[in-house]
Amino acid sequence: MKKKIEEIIQANIDTTTKLLKSDLEKIEETVSIITKALKNGNKLLIFGNGGSAADAQHIAAEFINKFRFDRDPLPAIALTTDSSILTCISNDSSFSHIFEKQIKALGNKGDIALAITTSDSILEENAHSSNIGFALAASREKGITTIGFVSEKSKTILDYLDHYIKIPSSDTPRIQEAHILVGHIICELVEQEIFH
């Protein structure tokens, strides 16, 4: 078992090392975009499926409460948390529209839509992660900047993103670990930019 643990840790290190060599400028650009939006009184709308839904909630909590130090809250909403909204839309319409309808209701021009996915999104009813694609399309229509935490498996979704950070892996656990690392980096740097 010890050998397997070492293999998993090494795979995480390898993915993080590749990220370090590939997307630092995109992370820096994302920090600037989010910082500017929040300084202008706009908000983050964050969403994803499964583990990425948990990441959306995690990141929203860091922005609203604090990351490194006590400070005023920053506006962020995880669109993955209201079970009544999620089940109502799924039941009455389609699971494909659970994030889209919230974007249309809550989003304003200048806001940021942050999509988190380990895979891809096809903009077809009930297709794989179509709820992410429909939300991004609705964001574009409203003048909301679209940002994605994506992976090597992400192809079609890139057409709906203004900016993205692509994790250099196609292994779902390693992608998820890198996504939360990137989320933490962004939270820490945005917090510093706004409050220091």
pLDDT digits (tens, 9 = 90+) for 16-47: 999 888 868 999 999 999 999 999 999 999 99
136 token code pair: 């991004």
At 20 the pLDDT is 83
Residues ≥6 apart with Cβ < 8 Å to 35:
189, 190, 193, 194
Which residue ranges in the chain fall short of pLDDT 70?
Answer: 23
Q: What is the pLDDT of residue 5?
A: 93
DSSP state of 190: H
Residue 112: what pLDDT? 98
Amino acid in position 115: A
Note the pLDDT of residue 125.
80
Q: How far apart are CA 81 and CA 98, in angstroms?
A: 11
Q: What is the pLDDT of residue 126?
A: 79
**Distance separating alpha carbons of residues 20 and 116, to the nearest angstrom:** 19
Place of tokens 């779902």: 172
* pLDDT for the residue 123: 79
CB 124 within 8 A of CB 56: no
Question: Under a CB-based contact definition with an 8 Å cutoff, are residues 35 and 193 in contact?
Answer: yes
At residue 94, the pLDDT reads 94
Q: What is the token pair recorded at 19? A: 């990220």
CATH code, 2-195: 3.40.50.10490
What are φ and ψ of residue 66, in 5° steps?
-175, 165
Residue 4: alpha-carbon gap to chain centroid: 30
Q: Model confidence over 7-17: pLDDT tens digits?
A: 999 999 999 99
Strand bridging mode 44-48 / 112-116: parallel
In this structure, what token pair is assigned to residue 90? 């799924």
